[in-house]
Structure 1
Amino acid sequence: MILVTGATGLVGSHLIVKLLQEKEEVKAIFRDKKSFTAVENIFRFYNADNLFEKINWIKADITDIPSLEEAFKGVTKVYHCAAFISFDPKDEDELMKVNLEGTANIVNCCLDFNIEKLCYVSSVAALGDPLDTQIIINEETEYNPEKLHSEYSISKYAAEMEVWRGFQEGLKVVIVNPGVIFGYGFPYNGSSTFIKAIKKGNPFYTKGKFGIIAVEDVVNCMITLMKHNINGERFTLVAENPTYEKILNLVAETLKVKKPFIYASKSFLSFAWRFDWFLSLIMRKKRILTKATSKALHSTKEFDNTKIKETLNYHFIEIDDYLKKLLKSF
């Protein structure tokens, strides 16, 4: 029996479809049945409606140990996909509670229930910080806590430390560090914010780079890594490192809307994140732009996918064609 946390999210929902298609028995954690609608849409997307009823749904919360103990009964492998994603510094407590404390609970349950193997979905945000003279980030790049990081990055890095603790205590683990994940479903969350921004007429662009990957690639790599005799390893999951300008233009062209036409320079963003902080303070609204995110928008660093490609002999989906097909659903 396989347990999937975060089963009602983008990665988790696509993952359970694939697992069920491979005849695996799946337990899936949920907190609110309202989220089932999005998952059912994913199953319809794969023409796998009949498999939805095969899911063994368990109402639980990764921050609530008693509910997890019930979920772990009869389980042999765990995919930990649950996470809280926010780049607003005001959400620091929630980020640490869900991402750090929640992951520590999962690791402890894995040890207590003698789980065979754990796959943890981390993020490229938890990868290291290259020297100023370097442009490549890989699994071995050292994380520098003295550098500027978002609260999300810090929480995911801390969560990885809990997974490595479990590894030291005898738990078999594998960690994946995906870039920005695109995929069908959840049009109002995550990577879909790129698409929403362009549809609303966002005029700004930068030439910074970011890692990008299709959700199908993330899921395929996770399942294959769990089947292999791979233990105590982490893998960067990034298909390409395009510029924000390229992706925003591709979205605009496909949707037949106006392309971003104002270059947001470093100095412009330096003013913008401070102004956004001021607005959030007086209007008590969530931050749209922070110092860390404004810095990331101009980063020219690239994420190296050599390790996963060579380990699994894996070939990633070509992003341009994938996004054009995905955008039809919008």
Structure 2
Amino acid sequence: MGVVRKWESRTEELEAFRRQLVAAAGIHRRKDDEGRRTTKTVVDDEEERALLCVTSGVSYLGLALVNHLLLLGYSVRIIIHNPEDIEKLSEMEPCGTSEHNLEVVIANLTDIDSLEKAFEGCRGVFHTSAFTDPAGLSGYTKSMAEIEVRVAENVMEACASTSSVKRCVFTSSLSACMWQNNAQSETSPVINHESWSSESFCIEKKLWYALGKLRAEKTAWRIANERGLKLTSICPALITGPEFYQRNPTATIAYLKGAQEIYSNGLLATVDLKKVVEAHSSVFKAMNNNACGRYICFDNVIGTQSEAENLAKEIGMPKEKICGDESNNSLHRFELSNEKLCRLMSRPIRCISEY
């Protein structure tokens, strides 16, 4: 592991490169975001000196989470895999406050010693579980699922072995909860924070993304319980937002494998990127009061063909791949509930949906 640089000491060349990329991408700040960037730190006195670490910090979710944590007044350390990833920080918009502090480190997620060094001095770790297809394809293979589990094990062991780390927020997926075997009569009609996907069903259907998230999260919980580490896991639905497919193709395509069945079961849900990062910071703060556990995170359930067609259009997928036809009816339909997260957060974000 090596410290690459602090945000305030980046070279003029990199800053110029960042500005060029942002300008070329036509990024414009919304007025409501402008107001947020001039807001002073909102973390309490106990948290104000906290240094937090975000793994996969230059991923679609990771970048948004880092920006959000900086806006809240935290200091943030980003883990990247190689120096070239530093260029992805061009996607971050300035926080507009001199109080923020961002540093970047190189660490190997498959090496516990490297992770322990990266976590040293951090009070909390956000493991955002972001992986890309090593073959360069927009998919998620069985081998990637195995890597995801190994990395989760390493991250949790490193968290437990680093004395400064008090809390970990683990990004899982709704796919780790929603794949049920409809043939089993005892299957609950409600999918919530207590639900787990059927491992055998995922293997049978070759749902490697769901299997990877399922096994990785279970591994995280096992180690947290064994080592006495405070852990919270968030299971977001399909993450959407600006250019979500272009910037997050592997996870998007992998999540939508078996989309027709998800849709017909009433479980094709999405969540806006901004709400996902807000959920992460909310559960982290709540962990001060021992509010740990699992949380399902979504803000919309796609229940009509027109909504499914709009989603298919956004990602350039034939609509039949998502919604089939009008005669595509499920034998067993479910309810999707994120009531637990709604109770935690101060405002409702659509608590129960039924189709």
TM over 0.5: yes
Q: What is the letter of the counterpart of residue 149 of structure 2?
A: L
Stretches of structure 1 lacking an aligned partner (at least 5 in a row) = 196-203, 269-294, 318-330
**Alpha-carbon separation, structure 2, partners of 1:224 and 1:90:** 30
- CA shift, 1:64, in A, is 2.3
**Alpha-carbon separation, structure 2, partners of 1:83 and 1:38:** 14
SS at match of 2:193: coil
Task: Name the residue aligned to 1:136.
Answer: 190
SS at match of 1:79: strand
- CA shift, 1:2, in A, is 0.5
1:48 and 2:95 matched: yes
Q: What is the letter of the counterpart of residue 21 of structure 1?
A: L
Which of the residues 211, 230, 233 maps onto 2:293?
A: 233
Distance 1:152 1:252, change over 3 A: closer
Q: What is the letter of the counterpart of residue 128 of structure 2?
A: C
- CA shift, 1:311, in A, is 2.5
Listed as ranges, the matches of 1:145-160 within 5 Å are 145-149=199-203, 150-160=207-217
Task: Name the residue aligned to 2:159.
Answer: 110
- CA shift, 1:38, in A, is 3.9
SS at match of 1:188: helix
Distance 1:141 1:190, change over 3 A: same
Stretches of structure 2 lacking an aligned partner (at least 5 in a row) = 1-50, 254-258, 351-355
SS at match of 1:29: strand
Listed as ranges, the matches of 1:153-232 within 5 Å are 153-168=210-225, 169-184=227-242, 187-190=245-248, 208=264, 209=266, 210-228=268-286, 229-232=289-292
Q: What is the letter of the counterpart of residue 107 of structure 2?
A: A
- CA shift, 1:68, in A, is 1.4
Q: What is the letter of the counterpart of residue 106 of structure 1?
A: V
SS at match of 1:314: coil
Which of the residues 57, 61, 64 maps onto 1:11?
A: 61
Distance 1:42 1:89, change over 3 A: closer
**Alpha-carbon separation, structure 1, partners of 2:98 and 2:307:** 34
Task: Name the residue aligned to 1:120.
Answer: 170
SS at match of 1:147: helix
SS at match of 1:74: coil
SS at match of 1:184: coil
- CA shift, 1:135, in A, is 4.0
**Alpha-carbon separation, structure 1, partners of 2:349 and 2:90:** 26
Distance 1:147 1:52, change over 3 A: farther
The total of aligned residue pairs comes to: 277
Task: Name the residue aligned to 1:100.
Answer: 149
C-alpha contact (below 8 Å) 2:140/2:209 kept by paired residues: no
1:191-242 alpha-carbon deviations (Å, 9 max, x no partner):
69989xxxxxxxx989534110011111111101111123440000011211
1:315 and 2:348 matched: yes
1:79-113 alpha-carbon deviations (Å, 9 max, x no partner):
0003326699982123211x111010110011111
SS at match of 1:181: strand
Q: What is the letter of the counterpart of residue 147 of structure 1?
A: F
Q: What is the letter of the counterpart of residue 103 of structure 2?
A: N
**Alpha-carbon separation, structure 2, partners of 1:14 and 1:248:** 26
**Alpha-carbon separation, structure 1, partners of 2:326 and 2:110:** 39
Distance 1:301 1:39, change over 3 A: farther
- CA shift, 1:20, in A, is 0.9
C-alpha contact (below 8 Å) 2:61/2:273 kept by paired residues: yes
**Alpha-carbon separation, structure 2, partners of 1:113 and 1:252:** 44
- CA shift, 1:9, in A, is 0.8
Q: What is the letter of the counterpart of residue 59 of structure 1?
A: I
Q: What is the letter of the counterpart of residue 101 of structure 1?
A: R
**Alpha-carbon separation, structure 2, partners of 1:35 and 1:248:** 34
**Alpha-carbon separation, structure 1, partners of 2:311 and 2:68:** 28
RMSD: 4.0
- CA shift, 1:118, in A, is 0.3
C-alpha contact (below 8 Å) 2:172/2:217 kept by paired residues: yes
- CA shift, 1:49, in A, is 6.6
What is the TM-score of this pair, normalised by structure 2? 0.66
Task: Name the residue aligned to 1:306.
Answer: 339
What is the TM-score of this pair, normalised by structure 1? 0.70
Distance 1:217 1:298, change over 3 A: farther
